Amino acid sequence: MKIIELNLAAFGPFTERVLAFDGAGLHIVYGPNEAGKSSALRGLKSLLYGIDERTADNFIHANDKLRIHGILLTSDGHELRFVRRKGRKNTLLTPDDEVLDERVLAPFLSGVSSELFETLFGIDHQALIQGGQEILEQKGEVGQALFSAALGSHALHAVLGELDAETKRLFLPAGSKPVINSAIRAHTDLRSEIRQSSLSSREWEEHRRVLGRTTKELEAVQSKLVDNRIEVNRLQRIQRVLPKLARRREFLLELELLGANSDKPVVVLPDDFTDRRRKAVNARETAQAILGKATPRLEGLQKQLEELSTNQGLLEQAEIIEDLHARLGGHRKALQDRPHLEAEARQLLTDADSILKEIRPDLELTDIEALRPVLARRQAIAELGGKNALLNAQVKQAGASLQETEKRLKAARNERNEITETGDTNALHRAIAAARKQGQLDSSIQSAQSQLASLQVECAGNLARLTLWEGDLEKVSGLRLPNRESIRQFEEKYDELSKRIQRIEEKKEELVDALQDTSQRLDEIERVGEVPTESVLANARSERDAVWQLLHRQWVDGEDVSAEASEYQGEDTLPDVFETRLAGADEVSDRLRREADRVHTLANLQSKQESGQQQGQQIDQELEATSAEKVQLDKDWQALWTHCQIDPLSPREMRAWLDEFEQLRDQVGQLNLLRQKVSELEQNRTTHIQRLNDQLAGLGRAGSTSEDLEAVLLECEALARQLDESKRKHDLLSKEVNERKADVESLSEEHRLATEALETWKAEWGDLMQSLGLRAESSPSEVDDFIEHLRSLFLKQGEAEKLRIRINAIDEDAAAFGGQVEIMVATIAPELVELPADDAVVRLNSLLSENRTRHTKRQQIEEQIEQATQEIQDSKASIQTMTDRLEALCVEAKCGGVDQLETAERRSADYLRIKEAITSIEKEILEAGEGVTIAELEAQVEGVDPDSLSGRITELNNKIEDELEPKRTELAETKGREEKELELMDGSDNAALLADQAHGILAAIRSDAERYVHMKLASKILHDQIERYRKENQGPLLKRASEHFSALTLGSFEGLITDFNDKDEPVLAGIRPGGVRVYVEGMSSGTRDQLYLALRLASLEKYMESAEPMPFIVDDVLVDFDDARSQAALNALAELAEKTQVILFTHHSQVLEQSKQLHGAVQVHGL
Amino acid sequence: MTKEYCEGALKFLHAADIHLDSALHGLERYEGAPVDEIRSATRRAFDNLVDLAIDEEVAFVLLAGDLYDGDWKDYNTGLYFVERMGRLREAGIRVFIVVGNHDAASQITKHLRLPDNVTLFSTKHPEQIILEDLNVAVYGQGFATRAVTDDLSQAYPQGDPQLFNIGLLHTCLDGKPGHEPYAPCTVDGLRSKGYQYWALGHVHNREEVSQDPWIVFPGNIQGRHIRESGPKGCTLVTVENGEVEEVEHRDLDVMRWSLCELDVSASESVDDIYEQVHEGLQSALDNAEGRPVAVRLVLKGACTVHSTLHADRERWIQEYRALATGLGGAGIWLEKISIKTRPSVSVDEVLERDDALSGLLRAIRDMELDGSALEELAEEISALRQKLPAELLGGDEPYDPTNPEVLKETLEDIKELLVSRLLSTEKGV
């Protein structure tokens, strides 16, 4: 099958992109990156096998719009035109969009599935690399290598490995870890677990029986134990109470002896009786002792008191005396200070008087109060005085500035008047700027002129060299010539015509050869003998039939046919003639059959000859027609050139001539342009010189005589500079004169104001001096001195006044103190009247402290007397109370006197002690007797032998502990165990659950076993098939692959051979020139890739020997090959392309270059 | 009891083939399988029977044989049964039992002490029990041995026309496929006894053999493998005025078995099939009415994705198990996924070519017809066969990988597995 046309009508980036693969040879589909090479590849595959459901080629055309058209052709000439759309069903359409049964494709695909097409009939760069790698992994094993190549698969080794690994994972005959092995073990374990978990019915019965028996025995032992324990208890009780009962009896006897039951009963006294009695006796004795000591002490104290006396009046005035004593120090000090103060006051008044004499000799000290206001105005006077200096300075300054400024004004005016040269330069500047803007006009004109001259010479030369046309340079531009397209059309027509003629002539030659050959062979056949023909046979038969008709009519119809018969009859009768004719026809027929080959060949040759002759005539006619066409074409060609008076050569020559002419035409154009430019430049220069000269005249200067623009310009620029400088200076000086004038005015005003202010001040100052009694011209510093002296005078006068006040206060205080002392002495201590006041105060104070001491002593003695009196009273009362209390106690104890009280107390205590002992022992007996009454116990004890008791008890206890108790424990344990066993046998479903689990494992084993069988058998079958394929195909396949390998490696290897590895397996090896063997492990990866490619090519060739060829799709496999090997691979593909369609997709332009050097046909399709 | 009572409304339950603690077959455990949901299925089904009897206030329960599995030895099963009988006793419900072939083989039956509300019919001769309070007579005889081949029904006494007569019998009737041919009898033979109701057991599928008189197989109460699919339970019978008024089936099973056969010939892609499987499983789950269900998925028909399906069975098992798990509900246990599809296109053209692939395919095709080739394959896996547990090689659904028929089925998968692996590559063309 071949793909004649692939039209990516709406697929991937393409719209109506047609790839026509109809020609022979290698097809190269070239598209640079992004051109959609991959989409085109997918499109090709999708055409044959449907568009992938999740295609990515729907980014321009929506899924339902995707369309791929194709035309396929089988090797036996069947063609199919169809359209593939995307979808799940009915994706095959006729070109008219009708649904096509998918089965129509089957004869074209000859059972090659989509996957097989991809692997076997497609190869890309990655597949090549993987194929090379696969060969390495197979270690060159021949069977695997051949099988891989035959499938285009590079997964064979991996598949074998996977199968092997999976089987080993699942099961190993002697293993324990694989999945199935371990599941089988788990199953076995579970079975035994089920057995263990299962409860048998016999076991159940057994346990029930044992439980019943044990329960009964346990009950018997337990009742025996109870009986024994009761007996032990009873004996132990008797043992316990026996001694207690005896002691009780003893106590009862003692009570009787105390006489409790006699006619003089024991008086039971309260617990605190003895205590009360003892306290009363002790208290009475103590009181008597106190009374004895207190009485004499009282008498001594009263005598002491009478001996102490005090001055009451002195004590009452104590406060005043203390006050006087405190003021005594102050009084003495003031009297001491007074003379000093008087001296100081007198000194101050003398100082004040002398100051006054200095400043105002006209005044006395008493009159100075009139001057006091002057001090208050002190500040205002100082300020006025300060202004004087400032005003004087201002007047002086203003005068000096005015003089200086007037001098400068005069100088500036003089300088300005000296400048005379002026003029307006604006227009001149504009003219200069316009001329400068034109650039180097002079030199431009010069160079244009020289170019013009040389171009003129060149054009003239070229015109002289031009053939076929006569004319001058001016006519060149205007000449109308035929256009290039017309010439090209003529050229094509000539080409086409000459090719046709050539073809026809070739055909004619071939035909003549063929005809000669045919007639030669005809000659040969005819020379062998006449050849019977169908027409001879038909002839013979028709003659035979004609005779038979006559015979029939004669015999059967009885008709007379002699007239007609004579035509056939010679000497023979009609029947004879018929027989002869019959024999003749048969003979021809027989020969026809016998010599069928010759007949056939003859007929063939004859028909060939005939058709050849016909063809010959046809060819002659065609030749004639083409000659006529050529004459017409020549005429048309001439006509094309007549109007420009040229007799043309051939179209191709005329094209060259046209090139030459057009070149000349361009030069003439340039010449004219240049001429125009020179004239324009010159015109420009004249205009500018004129403008400059006009400006010079305007300024009153003579115009320049120079023709050169540059010279004129320089002259004008110098003048403009000179005029500009003068103007600038004049302007500056005018400005200065104006400024100075203004300054003089302002300074005059300033000087006038300052003088006025000074005069005003002088008037004000004179007034002030007068008011102070000073001279009007007194300076401010003199006034300051005056005020300062005045201040000091007032200060001294104030100080003297203060001292006078203090002396007066001292005198008053001394008088008051003396009066107060005098009164006090007269009242309480007349003996001191003679003493001065301050001494009297000292004496009074000492008398006061003495009286105070005696008063305190008297108070203490009075307190002690009161205390002793109280003691005596208390003791007497206590003695009485205690005596009463002892008498009451005698009544309570029924005693005659206090001395009998102690005996009564002793009897009462004995009685109580015995009673308590009896109660206590009875309580013990009742407790030990465990609820049995004392009377009953007495009865039980009656007749018991105390010595045998403990023996009995030991005996019984031993029986309980050694015999009964262990028995009971054992039985209880057995019972518990059995109960537990039975409890566990509760109808649980443990075993059933385990059984479910076991069945789960069985199911798992089954599914794993199925998988194991799949893998194991797949592996075996695959190995068998690889070996079978190798045996059947090794010879021819390796031979062919060997050739390819040698070619692809550029002879670096001579070929391939089969060798054996250490396991005796056949392996591939390459042979170097010289016979060295290289195993696949020793090959470079590139060489292995080429080995894989060689195997693939050989396998494809083998495939095509037995099956419908399929297109081989190659996707950029050459990227890693160097240039030479790449060329070799291209050669191999081109060679394969002679046997089947080969489509090479590439985006390397290198491949296109190399394809040009291929021997076979190559068609390149751009994307 | 007065006559009016029993003529007014009498209800009883009829069940058979309890097979207590019988294991569930063929359920390979996998993550997501509803293991807990189907635990102790037969016991829970039997609990449902006890509850139903109490709720419906039936007068008595008939158990027509095969309480236990013959080879099951755990006495706990018997104890469980006794305990449940005790519950019925507390509810005042009597129980009549004939032992079946499995019970005859069971050790449990021989030793069990049943409460006094349970009547176990003799295995030596037919017995008649008259329930005077109900005007009912029950007749029955159990299996003395595992294989009883006599027609036990012949010796059953004629029915009393004054009473409502019930025959209790474990029998294969006139032979049912898939069941042992024990205690055969005929419908006519049963009819001739003049009973109103024949309570039969042994056949695991429910069948109302006749309505005059009523002859009923209630089926077993819980399916235990894929051949016991569909609803399972007991029969509730209502009798009025000495006549059968109503016979109705009641579900008792706690999990279902469901065979989900899908014809995938219309499916164009594995995604289509996935959808079909989804629907199929969902419908199986819906039909189970809230019970977990064990499903066997069978894909068949000629389809375009035949190769893909066969090439990688593991993948589909994983995918459909995940699908089943994802459906939620009471849970689906995918018991098995059986792919029995055929290719949609003929491969004859391929087989005619002479290249490596067609050689491989031809070789596999030829093996199917070549006994010695199959033997050679069997030899390859004999080591595995030797190790497989006996239960797998025998039993109801035996698996012997070396069996030629099994091998032939395997070959189709192997073919697709090899082709797809060999040609599966990531390539540009």
**Given an 8 Å threshold on Cβ–Cβ distance, is A986 in contact with B347?**
no
Conformation bin of residue A1078: beta by default, left when phi > 0, alpha when psi is -120 to 50: beta
Interface test with B, best of A88, A191, A1007 (most B CBs within 10 A): A1007
pLDDT digits (tens, 9 = 90+) for A571-589: 677 788 888 888 888 888 8
- Asked whether the beta carbons of residue B26 and residue A1003 sit closer than 8 angstroms, the reply is yes
> What is the C-alpha to C-alpha distance for residues A514 and A610, in angstroms, rounded to an integer?
11
Nearest C-alpha in A relative to B363:
A1025
- What is the DSSP code string of A836-854? -HHHHHHHHHHHHHHHHHH
Interchain pair A173, B384: CB under 8 A:
yes
Closest approach of chain A CAs to the CA of B264, in angstroms? Answer: 15
Nearest to B359 among A155, A173, A1028 (CB): A1028
Measured between CA atoms, the residue of chain B closest to residue A110 is: B349
Stated length of chain B:
429
Contacts of A832 (CB under 8 A, 6+ apart): A825, A840, A843, A844
* Chain B residues with CB-CB distance to A203 below 8 A: 75
Measured between CA atoms, the residue of chain A closest to residue B111 is A201
Q: A261 pLDDT exceeds 70? A: no
pLDDT of B427 strictly over 60? no
Tell me which residue in A997, A1013, A1025 faces B360 most closely, judged by beta carbons: A1025
Cross-chain residue pair B40–A202, CB shorter than 8 Å = no
Q: How many residues does chain A have?
A: 1167
Would you state the pLDDT for residue A135? 86
CB atoms within 10 A of CB A256: 11
CA geometry: angle at A993 spanning A989 and A998, to 5°? Answer: 145
Inter-chain contact B429–A122, Cβ cutoff 8 Å?
A: yes
The confidence band for B8, taking pLDDT boundaries of 50, 70 and 90, is low
Comparing alpha-carbon positions, the chain A residue that sits nearest to B313 is: A1011
Set of chain A residues whose Cβ sits within 8 Å of the Cβ of B268: 88-89
User: Do A985 and B75 lie within an 8 Å CB cutoff?
Assistant: yes
Reported as a single tens digit per residue, the pLDDT across A1100-1150 is 888 888 888 889 999 888 888 888 888 899 989 988 888 889 999 998 888
Nearest Cα to Cα of residue A2 among A21, A27, A19, A25:
A21
For residue A1166, pLDDT beyond 60: yes
Mean pLDDT along residues A237-256 = 82
Write down the pLDDT at residue A701: 76
Does the distance separating the beta carbons of B356 and A147 come in below 8 Å? yes
- What is the residue whose two structure tokens read 């029930």? A208
- DSSP 8-state symbol, B37: G
User: How far is B163 from chain A, CA to nearest CA, in Å?
Assistant: 38
Tens digits of residue pLDDT in A1029-1084: 888 888 888 999 999 999 999 889 999 988 888 888 889 999 998 889 999 899 98
* Nearest-by-Cβ selection for A1013 from B107, B358, B381: B381
Backbone angles phi, psi at A1145, to 5 degrees: -95, 135
Cis? peptide before B213, omega within 30° of 0: yes
Cα separation of the two ends of chain B: 91
Q: What is residue A71's predicted lDDT score, i.e. its pLDDT?
A: 93
CA–CA min distance A980, chain B (Å): 15
- Smallest CA–CA distance, residue B374 to chain A, in Å, is 10
Task: State the sign of the Cα–Cα–Cα–Cα dihedral A154, A157, A162, A163.
Answer: positive
Give all strands (DSSP E) within A602-721, no chain letters.
Answer: none
Q: Cβ of A278 under 8 Å from any chain B Cβ?
A: no
pTM: 0.54
Distance from CA of B231 to the nearest CA of A (A): 21
Confidence check: pLDDT of B3 > 50: no
User: In Å, what is the CA distance from B325 to each residue of A936, B275, B303, B422?
Assistant: 87, 15, 26, 33
pLDDT over 60 at A655, yes or no: yes
pLDDT per position as a tens digit, A791-834: 888 888 788 788 888 888 887 877 788 788 888 878 777 777 78
Distance separating the N- and C-terminal Cα atoms of chain A: 23
Q: Per the CB < 8 Å rule, is B420 touching A1024?
A: no
The H or E element containing residue A342 is helix A318-359
pLDDT tens for each residue of A330-374: 877 877 887 888 888 888 888 888 887 877 777 777 777 777 777
State which H helix or E strand residue A83 sits in: strand A79-85
Compare CB distances from B314 to A990, A1000, A1011 and report the shortest one's residue. Answer: A1011
Q: Cβ contacts (< 8 Å) between A1020 and chain B: which residues?
A: 377, 380
CB B143 within 8 Å of CB B101: yes
Q: Secondary structure of chain B: what % helix, strand, coil (to 5)?
A: 35, 25, 40
Picking from A450, A455, A233, the residue whose alpha carbon sits closest to that of residue A960 is A233
> CA nearest B314 in A: which residue?
A1011
pLDDT at A570: 66
**pLDDT digit string (tens) for A396-421?**
887 888 888 888 888 877 877 777 66
pLDDT band at B428 (very low <50, low <70, confident <90, very high): very low
Answer whether B410 sits within 8 Å of A1113, measured CB to CB.
Answer: no
* Nearest residue of A to residue B22, measured between CA atoms: A992
What is the distance between the alpha carbons of residues B110 and B122, in angstroms, rounded to a whole number? Answer: 12
* Gyration radius of chain B over CA positions: 27
Are A1122 and A161 within 8 A, CB to CB? no
Residues of A in contact with B348 (CB under 8 A): 111
Which chain A residues have a beta carbon less than 8 Å from that of B87? Answer: none
Question: What CA–CA distance (Å, rounded) separates A770 from A764?
Answer: 10
> Could you tell me the two tokens for A171?
């099961």
Of B40, B110, B413, the CB nearest to A992: B40
Residue B79 with chain A: CB contacts under 8 Å: 199, 204, 985-987
Q: How many CB atoms neighbour CB A592 within 10 A?
A: 18
In this structure, of A172-181, A272-281, A483-492, A939-948, the range with the lowest mean pLDDT score is A939-948
Instruction: Tell me if B414 and A180 make a contact (CB, 8 A cut-off).
Output: no
Residue-wise pLDDT for A130-145, tens only, equals 888 888 888 888 888 8
Residue of chain B whose Cα is closest to the Cα of A156: B422
Of A1003, A187, A995, nearest in space to B27 by CA: A1003
* A138 in contact with chain B, both atoms CB, cutoff 8 A: no
Q: What is the pLDDT of residue A413?
A: 78
Residue to test with chain A: of B303, B334, B417, B422, most A Cβ within 10 A: B422
- Alpha-carbon distance B105 to nearest alpha carbon in chain A (angstroms): 14
Which position has the higher pLDDT, A740 or B379?
A: B379
- Residues from chain A contacting residue B107 (CB–CB below 8 Å): 200-201
Q: Which residue has the tokens 């997709």?
A: A1145
CA distances for A1034 relative to A149, A199, A1028, A1029, A1041, angstroms: 12, 69, 10, 8, 10
Please report residues of B whose CB lies closer than 8 A to that of A110.
349, 353
Check CB contact of A995 with chain B, cutoff 8 Å. yes
Residues pairing with A6 in the sheet: A19, A70
The answer to whether B42 and B18 are in contact (CB under 8 A) is: yes
Interface touch A127/B313, C-beta < 8 Å: no
CB A3 within 8 A of CB A1111: yes
Nearest residue of B to residue A988, measured between CA atoms = B76
Cβ-based contacts of A45 with chain B (< 8 Å) = 429
What is the pLDDT, as a whole number, of residue A262?
62
A206 to chain B, any CB pair closer than 8 A? The answer is: no
Give A 1084-1103 residues with CB within 8 A of chain B: 1099, 1102-1103
Give the contacts of A84 (CB within 8 A, at least 6 positions apart).
A46, A47, A50, A51, A67, A68, A69, A70, A91, A92, A93
Mean predicted confidence (pLDDT) in A735-754:
82
Whole-angstrom Cα distance, residue A20 to residue A607? 37
Q: Do A155 and B420 touch (CB under 8 A)?
A: no
B273 versus A725: the higher-pLDDT residue is B273
- The H or E element containing residue A1067 is strand A1066-1071
Query: For residues B133 and B6, is the Cβ–Cβ distance under 8 A?
Result: yes
Question: HSE on the CB side for A813, CA within 13 Å?
Answer: 16
pLDDT in tens, B36-61: 888 889 999 999 999 999 999 999 99
Give the residue on A whose Cα is nearest the Cα of B355: A1103
CB contact under 8 A, B410 and A203: no
ipTM above 0.85, yes or no: yes
- The answer to whether residues B65 and B99 touch, using CB atoms and an 8 Å cutoff, is yes
Angle between helices A426-437 and A651-698 (to 10 degrees): 160
Residue A686, SS3? helix
CB contact under 8 A, A1000 and B74: no
| pLDDT score recorded for residue B426 | 42
* Residue B266: closest C-alpha in chain A: A89
How far is residue A989's CA from residue A1007's CA, in Å, rounded to a whole number?
27
